[in-house]
Amino acid sequence: MNYGSSISTTLGFDEAVERAKAALKEQGFGVLCEIDVAKTMREKIGAEMEPYLILGACNPHFAYQALQREPELGLLLPCNVVVARRGERTDIMAIDADAMLGVTGNAELKPIAAEVNARMRDALAAIAAVPA
């Protein structure tokens, strides 16, 4: 995957979601929204799928800095983190901020993207480090 990073764990889905939220919080991110994709697909088109949740994560300091440099950036926010059940495993995936912000062509966003990526990697590492 060239637009994000991920870990895979034997954690149950609900526990993985809670650990993801806690790890994001430790890195200064709040969860602005949760999109339950599996529920939406079931309700809207009758499709069944394994649990799949999108967490819209935001670090207000980085978001503010980025919006000061690129006011239209709201189109690309928040940073998405996905928790998805796949058989016996649960995957936690985080957007690559450099790939996401790179579509703007604004070099002033690179240092912000690098810091967001470092914190996202640290959050994923913290989830992976906790025994299932």
pLDDT one-digit tens code per residue, 28-66: 999 999 999 999 999 999 999 999 999 999 999 999 999
Report the pLDDT value the prediction gives residue 132, as an integer from 0 to 100.
64
pLDDT at 98: 96
Rounded Cα–Cα distance for residues 86 and 63 (Å) = 31
Alpha carbon distance 132, 129 (integer Å): 9
Domains (ranges, CATH) in the chain? 4-129 (3.30.310.70)
The ranges of the chain with pLDDT < 70 are 132
Query: Would you state the pLDDT for residue 130?
Result: 75
Left if phi > 0, otherwise alpha if psi is -120 to 50, otherwise beta: which for 76? alpha
The token duo for 129 is 């480090």
- Which pLDDT does position 108 carry in this prediction? 97
Alpha-carbon Rg for the chain in angstroms: 15
